[in-house]
Amino acid sequence: MFNFFEKIINYYKTAPKHGKNSKQNRKISKSLNENLIFFKKEFDQSADLAIRELKICNIPAAVITVDGLIDKNMLSNNVLKVIMGEEFRELSEKDPEKTYEYLRDKAIAFPDQIEITTYEDAIILGTSGFALLALEGSTRMLAIGVQGFSFRGIAEPTAEASQRGPREGFVEPIRINITMIRRRMRNAKLKFEMLQSGTTSQTAVALCYITDRVSSEILNEIKNRLNNADLATITTSGCISAYLEEEGDLSLFSSVGLTERPDTVCGKISEGRVAVLIDGSSTVLIVPYLFVENFHTIDDYSSRPYFATLNRILKFLAFFVATLLPGLYVGLGTFNPELFPGELLNKIALSVGATPFSLMLETLTIHFIYEIMREAGLRLPQTLGHAVSIVGGLVIGDAAINSGLIGAPTLMVVALTAICSYVIPTLYEPIAILRFLFIIFGGLFGTWGIMILFSAVLINICSKSNFGIPFLSPISPFGAFGMRDTFIRASWRTLSKGRGNIQTMPGAETD
């Protein structure tokens, strides 16, 4: 058995890594035929590869595109009609390089055109919606931005609904998301830095930050982690999120924030954070991210300070209730029932006596059934999902109580914790796992087990940091300046008096 696990560990230690593409940049050939053969071979005669061969000043040429990624009307009217027009028939220059330069500098007037000299760049731009113009005898290609593909329209993000804030959310194309941020921050210091990640997918990744607010140490560390990411294909933001965490971090809580709102991104980068946009994902990553920010919403800054403060206090209370209440209920009911009020103790005793399971097993079973119903309602179509919730809440719950399999107090505790866990949706995953752990520790060791596990979780959160920023700041280490926007939300007259940077948080180890 030990040899089996040792082999698994050694396999993961010695498994070959994808790393960066080991192929050297291959130069474009002067022969147009060789270039076309290369593209046909690389794409393996793919159905969406389109090659339009033509002649410019009697020089063989070709326009290479990927169908579905381009605007055909733009390509036809602004590129093909121009290079096949009358002026080129009378052009006396027959030299391929000079003809290419004439096309680049005078004939084709596109704001988004790039000169490329390698096949690797040609493939990346071609699969990004550029039209590639190649000439016989020239070692350069002209990539012309004629992108035009369908995408989901801009709508309000369902996971971060707002009552009084903007209704726009990110979409999948990275260029649209960049525009949404730029439109909100008309500042020359706002910078977008493009990277390529994924050796197979070559996914476009953009780092968004304000140059005079961001820490150079944090920015360089983010670039280093992304460049060293051992990824072949990037399908979701979660693929990159794992590499932005500290290596070896086993905490249930993530120090990488997620958002679908452009206004949230603008607020975070103004504090010195870095936003990571991934092409094909409507979720933007924010680093570094603090634990207390899970309890903040965009509506907090649109509401009056006293109401926003009340909402935050309710969220913190809901977090503790959703995490600790089932474990405390099981621990006290099993080991210290005398701590319950008399009338409540009688009802709990009657309920436990009428059911065939122990209190811990009963609570675990209900939570397990609830998680199954939640997942079923989430994955099914929306109309059926509502039906599953109604059936689960009314029929199954009522039938389980009447049949004597589940006690009414236990069901009430589970229902209350389920509602509280939805108050902080960004923390639902760690809450769900901790809830099961607290039930087990409470059922086995009573209140002492809950105290030990709670202390372990608290120590883990306090010791956690990312990019040199303590995860629990400004609570631990304590910072009076940051507390004005933690449990309470001070008025804008107070918040506007000093701009806080993430690298100035107490205990921060950045420049």
pLDDT digits (tens, 9 = 90+) for 14-63: 444 444 444 457 889 989 999 999 998 888 878 889 998 888 878 889 99
Higher per-residue confidence, 151 vs 207: 207
Residue 211 near residue 191, CB atoms below 8 Å: yes
Model-level pTM?
Answer: 0.82
Q: Give residue 9's pLDDT.
A: 41
Given the structure tokens 């990744």, which residue do they identify?
205
Parallel/antiparallel/unpaired status of strands 203-210 and 274-278: antiparallel
Residue 56 tokens read as: 């410019």
Instruction: Give 55's strand partners.
Output: 60
The 141-145 sheet, strands edge to edge: 49-56, 59-66, 130-135, 141-145, 113-116
273 phi/psi in degrees, rounded to 5? -80, 175
Average confidence score pLDDT of the chain: 84
Residue 414 near residue 367, CB atoms below 8 Å: yes
Residue 214 near residue 221, CB atoms below 8 Å: no
Tell me, rounded to whole angstroms, the distance of Cα 452 from its chain centroid. 33
Distance CA(261)–CA(177), nearest Å, equals 10
Residue ranges covered by each domain of the chain:
32-145, 174-301, 305-463
Q: Name the 3-class secondary structure at 345.
A: helix
Helix or strand holding residue 61 (H, E)? strand 59-66
Q: Name the 3-class secondary structure at 46.
A: coil
pLDDT digits (tens, 9 = 90+) for 214-257: 988 999 999 999 988 888 888 888 888 888 988 878 889 999 99
Q: Give residue 482's pLDDT.
A: 79
Given the structure tokens 């150079």, which residue do they identify?
216
